[in-house]
Amino acid sequence: MEAGSDVDVCAKWSETLRVYHNTSCELENELQSRHDLGLSEFEVLLILGRTCGDQAEGKAKMKDIEAEMYLSQSALSRTVTRLEKAGLVTRAACDFDRRANFLMLTPSGRERFEAAKPTHRAVLVKHLTVPGDSQRAEACS
C-alpha cells in the first residue's frame, strides 16, 4: 500500500484536487461574503497577524511574505495594494534597506483579521477533519 503505481498516483492527485478545490472555494466564498476579504488577502493578514503574535509589532517584509505564500511577486504587490486601500495594512519603508518595504497591520486590519479567523478555521475543520475523529474541533481557541 501507499505505492506509486499509476492508479495510486492518479487517485492521490484526484483526492488532492478534490480537497483543494472544495476547501479553497468555500474559504473564498465565506471570507468574501462574511468579511469582505479574498483568500489571498486573508493569507497576508494571517502572516502579519502571526508575526505580530511574536511581539514583532505586526511587521513583515514583502519578500518574507512572498516566500511564505504561493503567490507571485506582482500578485502580492497588488494584494497588498488592495489591503492598503481598504485601510487594513500600511506600507512603511525599511530604514536599513530602502529597497525593501515593511508591511504593518492597522488596528482596523487586526480587528478584521480576528473576526475572520474563526471563519477560516471552521472551513478548514469542516473539510480536513476525518469524519470518524473523536476530537472536539470547535472547543479550542
Q: Does 75 bind a copy of itself (CB under 8 A)?
A: no
Cα→Cα distances 113→43, 68, 81, Å: 10, 18, 17
Q: Alpha-carbon torsion 96, 104, 44, 48, what sign?
A: positive
Which of 75, 94, 115, 137 is the binder for a copy of itself (CB under 8 A)?
Answer: 137
Considering the complex, what minimum distance in angstroms separates the CB of residue 28 from a copy of itself?
13
What track of x and - describes contact with DNA for positions 60 through 99 (by CB under 7 A)? -xxx--x---xxxxxx-xxxxxx--------x----xxxx
Q: CB burial class (10 A; 0-12, 13-18, 19+) of residue 74?
A: exposed
Considering the complex, what minimum distance in angstroms separates the CB of residue 79 from a copy of itself?
16
